[in-house]
Structure 1
Amino acid sequence: MFWSRSFITTLKEAPEAAESISHKLMLRSGMVRMLISGVYSYLPLGYRVLARIENIVRQEMNKTGAQELLLPSLQSIELWQKTGRDELMGETMIRFQDRRGRKLCLGPTHEEVITELAAAYVKSWRDLPFTLYQIQTKFRDELRPRFGVVRSCEFIMKDAYSFDRDFEGLNQIYEKMRQAYEAIFKRCGLGFVSIKADSGVIGGDLSHEFLVPAESGEDVVYRCKICGMVMGAHEAAINECPHCHKDMEKLNALEVGHIFKLGDKYSKSLGVKFLDEAGHQQIVQMGCYGIGVSRLIAAVIEQNHDGNGIIWPKEVAPFDVLIVPVNVSDKLIWDEAVRLHDELGRQGLEVLLDDRDERAGVKFKDADLTGIPWRITVGSRWTKEGKLEFKNRRTGTVTEAAGGDPAAYLDLVRG
């Protein structure tokens, strides 16, 4: 991919309305553009990151045996009335009436819809267990959208739902999902904590939140400086570790995932029942498991940046390598840059070539801002000595390597 054809437009300064570091850097690097407050377009650079995060989520969810599907965004208010959550959601739910007089909403979440679907198919104990998930846009009428994609009116979420015949099965999938979530967040390059949490309007007997310590986080957790134990704000009222009896440090944190043991909260009211081996009717036990996929982008940036811009972890970076020819009008430099672009692409790497006729300083600043893990500079060292400069965005380490044979640099950029 050439920069001039990639629809990347960077800004020297972030708009004044941008509050958090992730919001500022997403706007400055050309990842998103605000349409109206709380509603964002994902531009190509941002969409590439989103797609990579979605790929990680899919891989880890599929490992658990969960199956992907796609549910409708349009939902009947009548369905929500059966569980009583139409009133609990209040004005957060975006409601309207279509021209046939049906009362509808744009889905803020999908517990009711997936439960109604399961009720149509589950009849026997042989139909269980199973887990279904989707990656889909949710809609909530946030009163005060904040921090860009962190608290927005339209956001992308992975929501999964498990259906089991008993609590033992529910407990097993709950633990499997907890482990999958840890794998997802680690692959995204995040430091995170997990705590017991209030189930809120979702409901259920038990839930755990996954939180990322971040300066702009709206949640608060306390962590012991000695043993690392983490507690929620409601648990750590005395601000002392129950094990070490030492002060705990207060951390702002951003919620990125939440898992729930729902039990029969939805299956009972929406009629998801089955006949067991003895022919007795039983109620299905459910769990639900959510990840804020679009919010993960902001979380990654909050933990991976410096004064010059974003520092993408390898697995979520929009590109693996950025090639910077310092003078595109120099044929020797340009030809090597293009050769590198093509060769690295053939080796399976995602490569961006900055083909703009700009000063080297401008290109270097944009390289740091966009945060691509490796920058390869093709400059005077190439024309004089046949050497390329490799800079690691995270460490700042600069390494020289000979051009020509890709073996000389492939291990470097893949490492």
Structure 2
Amino acid sequence: MRLSRAFLPTLKETPAEAQIASHRLMLRAGMVRQTSAGIYAWLPAGLRVLQKVGQIVREEQDRAGAQEILMPTIQNADLWRQSGRYEDYGEEMLRIKDRNQREMLFGPTNEEMVTDLFKDYAKSYRDLPRNLYHIQWKFRDERRPRFGVMRGREFLMKDAYSFDVNPEAAQHSYRQMFLAYLRTFARMGLKAIPMRADTGPIGGNLSHEFIILAETGESQVFVSQDLLDLDPLADTPDFAGDLAPHVDRWTQHYAATEEMHDEAAWSALAEGKRVSARGIEVGHIFYFGTKYSASMGLTVQGADGKPITPEMGSYGIGVSRLVGAIIEASHDEAGIIWPDAVAPFAAAILNLKAGDATCDALCEQLYAALGAEAVYDDRDARPGQKFAEADLCGYPWQAIIGPRGAANGRVELKRRATGERLDLSREDAIARIKRA
């Protein structure tokens, strides 16, 4: 992308409504614009990050054996009456009527719809297990939408739903998702901490939230340092066999949100092991047994010919929320510091003397070699402005091209996260950026 042609409306001043770092920086970096309270348009740079986050989520769901579908955003209210949740869900649900006065709703989640879909397919225990997921826009009418995409009313979510023949198999599916979530967040440069959680309106008696630590987190969390020291990518099972030891490795250590905090258990930890911090929820998984399958009449024939009510779980990741959470966990005074895997562009090519034939030629060579992963600042602007905007937007690498270096075929490469600077040949600079 050439900045001279890009739709990248950056801001020098912080908008008054931006209360936290991610909201402030997403607006200033031209990633999103608010269209109404809690609802945002995603602009080209922001959409690239959103798509990269979604792709990592998709790859890890596929790796764990889930199958992607896409369900409608508008749901029939009768489905929610079957499960008993239509009146219970509260004012967050946007209830609407079509032209024939049929009661509909803009889905905040999909337990009812996926159960109804699966009921038409599953007839035998041989049709289990199955895990179905989709990545879809949802709406919850927050009373006080705030913090940008962190607590908006419209949001992009990955939700998956598992169907199993008995509780033991259902717990295996739950563990598959537990481990897939650890890998998902780690690939985005995040350390997400699994914590036992309240099941809320989803239901059931087994649930974990995945929390990342950030000063602007919305809740207080308490966690053992031993848990923070674990490496999610060091434990990568093939999702077959007994997964309990892999999950136990993470759940044996103390970790709790404020609502689930046990002061006695916390006090039993050595003082040097206690970490109390603010946290942001980025994922939530549930095992709720037959709550929805029973209420909605989902049964299959068992091996003995008798009917079985499948055991279910659901597993959510806030894809759009993750974009804000990553920024909350990775920024400085100058702007965003994107992890390589989710950055909108791997590198910014900064032409410090646009119009100089040697600078222009070297920049064009870099731009051609890096392709779609490069943003080329070819504007007739001051170097200071180019440096500031590259820092603000958080590109992992800055390839700085000035007349002196260009005359010798040299590129000054700056690493955004550390400030490290390297003086490299064109070929070595390209290789270094691509290697990351």
The alignment's TM-score, normalised by the length of structure 2, stands at 0.91
Distance in 1 of aligned mates of 2:48 and 2:275: 36
Q: Structure 2 stretches of 5 or more lacking a match? A: 229-253
* Cα deviation digits, residues 101-125 of structure 1 (max 9, x gap): 1000000110000001111111111
Instruction: Give the equivalent residue in structure 2 for 1:357.
Output: 380
Distance in 1 of aligned mates of 2:150 and 2:227: 30
Provide the aligned length of Structure 1 versus Structure 2. Answer: 410
Distance in 1 of aligned mates of 2:434 and 2:420: 12
Identical counterparts, % of pairs:
45
Instruction: Give the equivalent residue in structure 1 for 2:90.
Output: 90
User: Deviation at 1:88?
Assistant: 1.8
Instruction: Give the equivalent residue in structure 2 for 1:388.
Output: 411
Distance in 2 of aligned mates of 1:263 and 1:87: 22
User: Deviation at 1:240?
Assistant: 6.3
Instruction: Give the equivalent residue in structure 1 for 2:250.
Output: none
Change (3 A) 1:239 1:314: farther
Change (3 A) 1:237 1:170: closer
Match of 1:104, SS state, is strand
Letter in 1 for 2:261: A
Instruction: Give the equivalent residue in structure 2 for 1:410.
Output: 431
User: Deviation at 1:314?
Assistant: 0.4
* Cα deviation digits, residues 317-365 of structure 1 (max 9, x gap): 00111101101111111111011100222xxx61110111100100000
- Does the 8 Å CA contact 1:14/1:28 hold for their aligned counterparts? yes
User: Deviation at 1:412?
Assistant: 5.0
Change (3 A) 1:156 1:334: same
Q: Structure 1 stretches of 5 or more lacking a match? A: none
Distance in 2 of aligned mates of 1:291 and 1:342: 36
User: Deviation at 1:254?
Assistant: 0.9
**Mapped pair 1:244 → 2:269:** yes
**Mapped pair 1:373 → 2:399:** no
- Does the 8 Å CA contact 2:198/2:260 hold for their aligned counterparts? no
Instruction: Give the equivalent residue in structure 2 for 1:338.
Output: 364
The alignment's TM-score, normalised by the length of structure 1, stands at 0.95
- Does the 8 Å CA contact 2:204/2:291 hold for their aligned counterparts? yes
- Does the 8 Å CA contact 2:74/2:107 hold for their aligned counterparts? yes
- Does the 8 Å CA contact 2:282/2:317 hold for their aligned counterparts? yes
Match of 1:364, SS state, is helix
Match of 2:317, SS state, is strand
**Mapped pair 1:105 → 2:105:** yes
- Does the 8 Å CA contact 2:351/2:363 hold for their aligned counterparts? yes
Match of 1:92, SS state, is coil
Instruction: Give the equivalent residue in structure 2 for 1:301.
Output: 327
RMSD: 1.6
**Mapped pair 1:317 → 2:343:** yes
- Does the 8 Å CA contact 2:390/2:398 hold for their aligned counterparts? yes
User: Deviation at 1:402?
Assistant: 1.9
Residues 129-140 of structure 1: matches in 2 within 5 Å?
Answer: 129-140=129-140
Instruction: Give the equivalent residue in structure 1 for 2:153.
Output: 153
User: Deviation at 1:245?
Assistant: 4.4
Instruction: Give the equivalent residue in structure 1 for 2:288.
Output: 262
Runs of 4+ in 1 over 6 A off after TM superposition: none
Distance in 2 of aligned mates of 1:79 and 1:412: 51
- Does the 8 Å CA contact 2:142/2:152 hold for their aligned counterparts? yes
Residues 186-205 of structure 1: matches in 2 within 5 Å?
Answer: 186-205=186-205
Change (3 A) 1:240 1:282: closer
Distance in 1 of aligned mates of 2:156 and 2:220: 24
Instruction: Give the equivalent residue in structure 1 for 2:11.
Output: 11
Instruction: Give the equivalent residue in structure 2 for 1:61.
Output: 61
Distance in 2 of aligned mates of 1:262 and 1:281: 19
Comparing 40-49 with 377-386, greater Cα deviation is found at 377-386
Instruction: Give the equivalent residue in structure 2 for 1:165.
Output: 165
Instruction: Give the equivalent residue in structure 2 for 1:291.
Output: 317
Instruction: Give the equivalent residue in structure 2 for 1:184.
Output: 184
Distance in 1 of aligned mates of 2:96 and 2:39: 19
Instruction: Give the equivalent residue in structure 2 for 1:231.
Output: 256
